[in-house]
Structure 1
Amino acid sequence: MRHRQISRRTWMQGMAGMMAGALTQRATGAASNPTGQRPNLLIVLTDDQHYQAMGCMGNPIIQTPQMDALAAQGVLFTNAFVTTPICCTSRASILTGMYAWSNSVHDFQTPLPPDLLEISYPAVLRRHGYHTGFVGKYGVGARPPEDAFDFFVGLPGNGRYVQEINGETRHMTGLLADQAVAFLESCPDDAPFCLSLSTRAPHAEDYDPRPFPPDPAFERLYRDVEIPVPELAKPEYYEALPPFLKDSEGRKRWENNFNTPERWQESVRDYYRMITGVDHAIGRLRDVLRRRGMEENTVILFTSDNGFFPGERGLSDKWYAYESSIRVPFILYDPRLPEAQRGRRVEAMALNIDIAPTLLDLAGIEAPPQMQGRSLAPWLRGETPPWREHWFFEHRFDSPRHKIPMSEGVRTDRWKYFRWINVAGNPEELYNLEQDPLEIRNLAGNPDCADTLAAMRRLTEAYRETLPKR
């Protein structure tokens, strides 16, 4: 099979587009507040949610009525990605609108530098009169910056899901929803609010006998359902992995989470139960918004900090550049949209670095020039602006205790390239996503794709040279 390659001219045009897009973003100001009333902003961020783990993304089994309703009433971004698939770094990029290359957060101990915390979306909104709250997993640095918010009930990292409180068994998702409700109940009437609810679910309790412990209220869900096993979970795809991935942290966690057909079914059922628990929490928050008369002026953004391997390629968790790891659910709901603009599906590539500039744009605030993402508000309004054709992927978490190889590369609409940067020989992978969406055939060694491989290498280097490095 022949593959249409990327010519040098196309690559040069793409680089020009990248620079033009960055300049356009920096020049964009307040353009998305047609009524003049500043909207409230509610951001719900899950942890390790596979992009297809919602009914509105075509999953016929999982029960997510609130997420589905937001998509039906808002805009569903079907090609949304994170630029780095690990909790700490992705969350830093969400806060700042910056690639990890520029925000310097590559591990769990490094906090946002003070000057970048000052240009994060919560800090900017607070300076412009927003009442700000954060509830849940913060995940950036060992000590969360509690003073940066008006209301903060946050965790530096992960905690236990099921807890005994005053003789009652409670699940972390419900407890976090309680705190989010408390914030909404306490919001002043004379200022808009921005609440970030960051759940831990459905992230696993690593190496636990029951890695995805759900709220007891959802135990009966999916009990009699046989969940279809994905194609990539077949053993031959693990056997095709390079040796350094066969012995990686992702494989070790697979051994705990998915190592038999029975274990796979049990774990995925629990994983779905945890997501349904988050969905229930969203419903609770929307009920409070209705009761307080806030619903008609509250924008809701729903997404995840990265994707997840549910046993695909014989792996668990995330970290690597394959689609299930980098692709995420993404819904943007604005109750002020006219009826004709609701329920749309947008295929343009949205990134986690777009979240901060989008929120500021919706609030009528110009994004700081350091932000490298672009506002998604034009897509929300039904426009089709000139848009990115590619973006930079990187994963630089380096831990002697964990076998998680580092990688970097680029993804376009139809091609993906990445290289393993701390593995001997820097092995490369190249996929034609249009012809091979499951990323089964690595074309890096295919002579017919030599020009495309060279162009993608140059594009990766251009990002490294162009993006400010901290």
Structure 2
Amino acid sequence: MNFILIFADQMHKYAFGKRNSEILTPHLDQLCEEGVLFRNGYSNNPICGPYRGTLFTGLYTSHNHVSYNGQGLYPDTPSLASQLNSLGYETSFIGKWHLGGDGNDSIPASLQGDFKYFMGYQCYNGFLKDVIFWNGQGEKLEFNQHRTEVTTDLALQNLSVLKQTGKPFFQVIGYQAPHYPEQPLPEYAKIYSGKSVKHTPDYIEVDPYTPTFSPYSPRPFEDCADYQRYGNNMDEYIRLYNAMITQIDHGVGKILEEIRKLGLEEETLVIFTSDHGDMQGSHGLKNKCLPYEMSCGVPFIVKDPKGLKNTVSDVLISGVDIYPSLLDYAGTKSVHAVDGKSFKPYLRQAEETINPFIIAEYIDPESGWQMIRDNQFKLCIHTRNRVPYLFFDLLHDPYELVNLVDQPTYESVKEKLLAQINVALLSSTSI
């Protein structure tokens, strides 16, 4: 079985057509119909680098030593690529890496996660032009084309190469979009120009603009073209954000078509997800690093050619589940204990669920938190003192409007969840 993992950056769980009909994503919608749309998909750490740490180790942040952006994978933890390499897989990464650095420097082989083929960059360095990638040999490649288009084109080229090897492969494609700055190609922006934006009950007005540091946004911010375009204008930000998602979708369509042309469709597992979401005014907040649904909740679509089709599922799934799942499809288990669970038995209808609960966390001395949710409730605690501060009944309150943390009625539920998260995160799963 071949594996293709496509992930966006800062794409929240509702940001595609099957969950919001105002967003045009025909190819992602088709992928849902050919596989399973998991409505309860989560990032285990809603920030760029630490998410990738969980993805490529199968371990929660508390166990994998990747706590902040720019930190590399821990050398003593076998990466997903290394384990697939040992099984004879061709492994390939294309796109935003953001492990082991924050700037525009080349990425040495020691930081490339053991991928045999590598074409990536640490952090964004231009969207519409001056786009830079680094290959596995540390050589700089520059493109004057939109970053999303470059990513798609490089992925298409490499799929043909992987096909020619005659070996099973693992291809990862990491888009930078729709992460700010919101700079879609004009033809995609035009699709949403002037369209009204519907806000959910949790929305509170906030300025969506965030300056960038690679490249460095002009100061004062009023001189920045991005600020002039959507500063203090969440609706325009969302329109441009949605345009970038439609642009990603176009790329996904090209990739799926290439899989069909190469005759690989019946032997390739396809996963689409995101590293984290985007608050977009939910609770008056923006960006990520938060335990709310718009930050931790991500799209999660899996197409197993021999598995469930046209299924919308509410079972719990998260990024750490990808590691053990791919090894399961490859016919083996991880050489180290992992925090995730394989979703293969669920997709092949051998089991009715995947996880009894999922966990997310954000490691920070002052504002760090840890979150656990089961099929109904979500509990969030401060990491510095392990005291609960948010508690929601997601079944009856999907927008997280009513914090029940001080309600004695739910004391036993909170105690159970607190015990579960303590066991899960304070255990010695890491190696």
TM-score by length of 1: 0.78
Aligned residue in 1 for 2:216: none
Q: Distance in 2 between matches of 1:308 and 1:134?
A: 24
CA-based RMSD of the aligned residues comes to 2.6
Paired residue for 1:412, among 369, 374, 393? Answer: 374
SS at match of 2:158: helix
Aligned residue in 1 for 2:150: 175
Counterpart amino acid of residue 401 in structure 2:
I
Paired residue for 1:202, among 178, 189, 197? Answer: 178
State whether structure 2 residue 264 is matched by structure 1 residue 291. Answer: no
Q: Distance in 2 between matches of 1:79 and 1:73?
A: 18
Counterpart amino acid of residue 87 in structure 2:
H
Counterpart amino acid of residue 90 in structure 2:
H
Aligned residue in 2 for 1:124: 83
Q: Give 1:371 deviation, angstroms.
A: 1.7
Counterpart amino acid of residue 52 in structure 1:
Y
Paired residue for 1:134, among 93, 99, 106? Answer: 93
Q: Distance in 2 between matches of 1:180 and 1:462?
A: 40
State whether structure 2 residue 9 is matched by structure 1 residue 47. Answer: yes
State whether structure 2 residue 324 is matched by structure 1 residue 374. Answer: no
State whether structure 2 residue 22 is matched by structure 1 residue 66. Answer: no
Q: Give 1:353 deviation, angstroms.
A: 0.4
SS at match of 1:413: coil
Paired residue for 2:65, among 89, 104, 117? Answer: 104
Unaligned runs of 5+ in 2: 102-106, 132-140, 207-225
SS at match of 1:277: helix
**Distance change in 2, residues 1:409/1:73 (3 Å):** closer
Aligned residue in 1 for 2:303: 333
Aligned residue in 2 for 1:92: 53
State whether structure 2 residue 232 is matched by structure 1 residue 265. Answer: no
Counterpart amino acid of residue 94 in structure 2:
V
Counterpart amino acid of residue 416 in structure 1:
K
Counterpart amino acid of residue 267 in structure 1:
Y
Q: Distance in 2 between matches of 1:322 and 1:304?
A: 15
Unaligned runs of 5+ in 1: 1-38, 206-211, 237-254, 399-403
CA contact (8 A) 1:101 1:467 kept: no
Q: Give 1:436 deviation, angstroms.
A: 1.8
Aligned residue in 1 for 2:363: 396
**Distance change in 2, residues 1:462/1:310 (3 Å):** same
SS at match of 2:341: coil
**Distance change in 2, residues 1:91/1:448 (3 Å):** same
State whether structure 2 residue 167 is matched by structure 1 residue 191. Answer: yes
Counterpart amino acid of residue 426 in structure 2:
E
Q: Give 1:136 deviation, angstroms.
A: 0.4
**Distance change in 2, residues 1:149/1:465 (3 Å):** closer
**Distance change in 2, residues 1:409/1:189 (3 Å):** closer
Q: Give 1:71 deviation, angstroms.
A: 0.6
Aligned residues: 394
Counterpart amino acid of residue 184 in structure 1:
L
**Distance change in 2, residues 1:259/1:417 (3 Å):** farther
**Distance change in 2, residues 1:375/1:320 (3 Å):** same
Q: Give 1:168 deviation, angstroms.
A: 8.6
State whether structure 2 residue 426 is matched by structure 1 residue 460. Answer: no
**Distance change in 2, residues 1:312/1:147 (3 Å):** closer
Q: Give 1:421 deviation, angstroms.
A: 3.4
Q: Distance in 1 between matches of 2:342 and 2:246?
A: 29
SS at match of 2:333: coil
Paired residue for 1:159, among 125, 131, 136? Answer: 125
Aligned residue in 2 for 1:322: 292
Q: Give 1:130 deviation, angstroms.
A: 1.1
Q: Give 1:396 deviation, angstroms.
A: 0.2
Q: Distance in 2 between matches of 1:202 and 1:435?
A: 30
Q: Distance in 2 between matches of 1:386 and 1:330?
A: 15
Aligned residue in 2 for 1:76: 37
State whether structure 2 residue 200 is matched by structure 1 residue 230. Answer: yes
SS at match of 2:156: helix
Counterpart amino acid of residue 53 in structure 1:
A
Counterpart amino acid of residue 148 in structure 2:
T
**Distance change in 2, residues 1:335/1:456 (3 Å):** closer
**Distance change in 2, residues 1:168/1:200 (3 Å):** closer
SS at match of 1:178: helix
SS at match of 1:317: coil
**Distance change in 2, residues 1:367/1:427 (3 Å):** closer
Q: Give 1:397 deviation, angstroms.
A: 3.8
Please list the CA deviations of residues 26-46 of structure 1 after superposition, one character each: whole Å capped at 9, or x if unmatched: xxxxxxxxxxxxx22111010
Aligned residue in 2 for 1:308: 278
SS at match of 2:414: helix
**Distance change in 2, residues 1:317/1:235 (3 Å):** closer
Counterpart amino acid of residue 49 in structure 1:
M
CA contact (8 A) 2:46 2:290 kept: yes
Q: Distance in 1 between matches of 2:169 and 2:282?
A: 40
Counterpart amino acid of residue 139 in structure 1:
H
TM-score by length of 2: 0.85
SS at match of 2:192: coil
Q: Distance in 2 between matches of 1:431 and 1:467?
A: 29
Q: Distance in 2 between matches of 1:285 and 1:295?
A: 11
SS at match of 1:347: strand
For the pair shown, the structure with the greater C-alpha radius of gyration is 1
Higher helix residue share: 1
CA contact (8 A) 1:393 1:410 kept: yes
Counterpart amino acid of residue 129 in structure 1:
G
CA contact (8 A) 1:170 1:215 kept: no
CA contact (8 A) 1:56 1:68 kept: yes
